[in-house]
Amino acid sequence: MPLCPVVFDLDGTLIDSAPDIHACVNAVLRENGVPLLPLPRVRSFIGGGVELLWSRVIAACGIDPVHRRDLIAAFMARYHDATALTRLYPGVPEALAELAAAGHPLGICTNKPLGPTRAVLDHFGLSHLFPAVIGGNSLPVKKPDPAPLRAAFAGLGTQSGVFVGDSEFDAHAAAAMDVPFLLYTEGYRHSPVDDLPCRAHFSDFAALPGLVARAGGLQPAAQPAP
């Protein structure tokens, strides 16, 4: 039988894109005469997509929300191909190569818009590994709604598989779809690891192929202890 599909989140899971997102946010703030935000603050806003990011930036900076649409447009003009400061997490290329060589179909399900998603995958030479890519604007809803994750698995020709991510958005999407979730602990989550429903968690991508093999029975994702 074919090995189980594996779908990945992107920002905070495969890539550390916070420096590029931070640079784009601050470029827009600077252009509008607004005090700049530090990297840790912007990193804490990442995960829910561009609209949520800017809702948080606007609130943090005390900006009149009437400017929201123009701010997002200015951000997207910079963000579309912002890859200079983004880095793959250690061990990602090797883990992806091992999973692909073993026969696992691979996909992406991210709240990052599709254009910047494809740009960063191209930048790192990873696009060929992912026949199914669902971005934050591919559907009318984003994670934690399970619909984007369901669409990513459907793009791989299946209704289930293993999901790998780093955040609350990812954990709850997997739980809603009832698929095993593997939590990368070095990304952008806010909650303690024990508070998130996951089959297993890891901090080193060298462990991922083994975890995928053990989670590939496709049983429901574990729930945190009460």
CB atoms within 10 A of CB 64: 7
Report whether 75 contacts 50 (CB < 8 A).
yes
Determine whether 194 is an active site residue: no
Report whether 76 contacts 54 (CB < 8 A).
no
Dist CA 138 CA 41 (whole Å): 27
CB atoms within 10 A of CB 197: 17
Which listed residue (9, 11, 20, 166) is catalytic? 9
The encoded tokens of residue 32 equal 């509008």
Overall size of the chain counted in residues: 226
Annotated catalytic residues are 9
